[in-house]
Structure formats: structure tokens, C-alpha cells
């Protein structure tokens, strides 16, 4: 014979509910009365279970976000290494690369002017975009 779990635990509540459902369907009043007889407060047990469900869901959500962030960072590193890593270059190197691209691709020269006054971040972004376009988006 199976030893019943201690009273008023989540396992006890689940065990009792399972036993109730195996019998003839009971009315909610009968279920509450049966649980009360064995010392289980249905409202407290339900609140504990719901809190645990929310805790597990939040933990899983955080794990998914951390995994996605880790994958995004790994993708960014792989992507930068395939494109020459504009973010790893100095401003002078970025400007030199930009002028090299303009020389190799005359259409780029028609669309862009001198970027001496552009911020480093704008220049990085532009180089990343241009290098991806040049590579045909194969990254």
C-alpha cells in the first residue's frame, strides 16, 4: 500500500485531488469539505501552487532571455569577424576602409560624401551595412 504524503503539502493536495477525480464527480462544496477534513486549506494550497507556477514561468522566461542574449552576442561576434569587424577598428581605419569601398564601388561614392564629421558609431554602422551589401548578405 502506498504511504500517503504528509498533510497540507502540495503533494498531499495533488494526491487528494487525483483520488477525488477517480471517484464519482464531486460538487465543489464536497471537494472543499473533503480537503478540509484532512487538514488541507484549498485556498492556501492553490495560492502556493500558483505562486510556484509563476516562479517557474519567470525562471524559464529569464533562462530563454539569457539564452537568446548569449546567441545574439555569439552571432554578432561571428558576423563581425566575417565582415572584418568594423567595431574593432580605430576611427582612422574605418575612414580608410570607407574610402577604399568608395574607390572599389563607384556607386557608393555617388551616394555618400566625406564622413569626417560622422560619429564613430555612425561610421561603424555604415561600414557594417556597406560590407554586408558588398558581401551580398552571405554573412
User: Using 50, 70 and 90 to split pLDDT, how confident is the model at 139?
Assistant: very low
Phi/psi at 45 (5° precision): -65, -40
How far, in Å, CA of 121 to CA of 116, rounded? 13
**Arithmetic mean of pLDDT, 1-14:** 67
Domain residue limits, the chain = 1-83, 86-135
Q: How many CA atoms lie within 13 A of 65 on its CB side?
A: 6
pLDDT in tens, 8-37: 677 777 777 777 677 667 788 888 888 888
**Arithmetic mean of pLDDT, 117-124:** 80
Q: Is the pTM of this model over 0.85?
A: no
First to last CA, the chain: 63
For 7-119, where are the alpha helices, taking DSSP H only?
Answer: 10-22, 28-37, 42-83, 91-104, 106-111
Give me the pLDDT at residue 66, please: 94
How far, in Å, CA of 58 to CA of 7, rounded? 28
User: In what helix (H) or strand (E) does residue 132 lie, and over which residues does it extend?
Assistant: helix 120-135
pLDDT in tens, 38-94: 888 888 888 999 999 999 999 999 999 999 999 888 887 776 665 555 556 788 888
Amino acid at each position: 500500500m502506498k504511504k500517503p504524503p504528509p498533510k497540507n503539502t502540495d503533494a498531499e493536495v495533488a494526491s487528494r485531488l487525483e483520488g477525488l477525480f477517480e471517484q464519482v464527480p464531486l460538487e465543489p462544496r464536497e471537494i472543499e469539505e473533503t480537503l478540509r477534513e484532512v487538514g488541507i486549506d484549498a485556498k492556501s494550497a492553490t495560492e502556493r501552487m500558483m505562486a510556484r507556477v509563476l516562479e517557474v514561468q519567470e525562471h524559464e522566461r529569464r533562462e530563454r532571455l539569457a539564452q537568446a542574449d548569449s546567441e545574439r552576442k555569439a552571432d554578432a561576434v561571428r558576423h563581425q569577424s566575417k565582415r572584418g569587424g568594423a567595431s574593432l577598428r580605430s576611427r582612422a581605419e574605418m575612414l580608410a576602409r570607407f574610402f577604399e569601398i568608395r574607390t572599389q564601388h563607384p556607386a557608393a561614392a555617388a551616394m555618400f560624401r566625406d564622413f569626417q564629421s560622422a560619429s564613430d558609431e555612425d561610421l561603424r554602422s555604415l561600414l557594417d551595412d556597406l560590407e554586408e551589401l558588398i558581401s551580398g548578405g552571405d554573412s
